[in-house]
Amino acid sequence: MASYAHPRTNSNWRIFLERFWPVVIGLGAISFPTWRYITQESWSTEQGSQGPLILGSGLWLLIKMLTSTKGLQSRPPGWQSWGAIISMATLLVLFRTAAIIELEVYALYGLCGALLFSFIGWQALKSVWFPIFYLGFAVPLPESLVAALTNPLKIWISDSVVSLLHAVGYPIASAGVTIQIGQYQLLVAAACAGLNSLITLSALALFYVYLTHRANWRYMAILIMAAVPVAIFSNLVRVLILILLTFHAGEAAAQGFLHNFAGMTTFAIALVTIYVMDLVLQKTLPSARDSGSRI
């Protein structure tokens, strides 16, 4: 596949900023409170730490792909552009006024999409659907949704770890997501990042698979589905490591540097596992060979 690189990319973006700087300033002004919430309340926590990584990689891919849509770009009618922009901006202001921060973030995501639509049109927008969809993983999920999705996972992880350690002789028991080992009491909610690793690994697997195998949808589906059990298993291993650290080294050691180190290690192992699975599948599945479409 031909590279998305364009010799006049920098010049084009400089011209865009010179012509549409009021749009850039206006978007920055209306979205500043939302971005402040995202960076301070979500991205600065373990739950949303994947946000900057997904945002950076998604914008990089979007800019790369936009340079190849010149022939498709066509400004839509004014009523469509202004209708989309005003609708999303109104929702943003309404949700901010009502202090519904989760929906305010999604309204900002929609506003950015409406602005992009107003500049490049529907056909070009459809051609860059993947980076737009991928950037949605950077949007913080509502807390109620996170709790509903993670509670069954946390209970399963808790029961699995307790059963494993009890079988090898550790004094351990659990009640829901609370684990008692020796004199220590732990919450899986504190030791496991909930959907953090599941969302991050799924998003990065999606990004990697799209770049390398976008011509083979069946192969993409296999790898993406494989990312989910790998992420769940990595969470289980992380909880297991933290419980053992707490029991043998004390709570202070497990909640300090080793807590973050265990998270980074298990996440790195999960990423490597996805990559190794890709290599194995390429060698065992004939349809996966030479199907890559690299940028």
What are the tens digits of pLDDT across the range 107-157?
989 998 998 888 888 888 888 888 998 888 887 777 677 667 777 787 888
* In the predicted structure, residue 237 carries a pLDDT above the cut 70: yes
- Segment 49-72 shows an average pLDDT of 83
Confidence of residue 201 (pLDDT cuts 50, 70, 90): confident
d(CA 171, CA 194) in angstroms, rounded, equals 25
Q: How far is CA 56 from the centre of its chain?
A: 11
d(CA 189, CA 147) in angstroms, rounded, equals 10
- In tens, the pLDDT along 172-189 reads 888 877 888 888 887 765
- In tens, the pLDDT along 163-172 reads 999 898 888 8
* In the predicted structure, residue 281 carries a pLDDT above the cut 70: yes
3-state helix, strand, coil in the chain (%, to 5): 75, 5, 20
Which residue is catalytic, options 14, 214, 238, 289?
238
Q: Which of 14-18, 46-50, 84-88, 150-154 has the lowest mean pLDDT?
A: 14-18
Which residue is catalytic, options 14, 36, 96, 192?
192
- In tens, the pLDDT along 69-109 reads 878 888 888 888 889 989 998 998 898 888 888 788 889 89
Q: What is the DSSP letter of 93?
A: H
| Strand partners for 174 | 179
* In the predicted structure, residue 24 carries a pLDDT above the cut 50: yes
- Extract the tokens encoding 58: 């998604």
pLDDT at 2: 39
The percent of residues above 70 in pLDDT, for the chain, comes to 77
pLDDT at 87: 92
- Segment 237-258 shows an average pLDDT of 76
* In the predicted structure, residue 11 carries a pLDDT above the cut 60: no
Q: Is 238 a catalytic residue?
A: yes
pLDDT at 139: 79
d(CA 51, CA 196) in angstroms, rounded, equals 10
> pTM score, two decimals?
0.72
* In the predicted structure, residue 273 carries a pLDDT above the cut 60: yes
Residue 179 in contact with residue 162, Cβ under 8 Å? yes
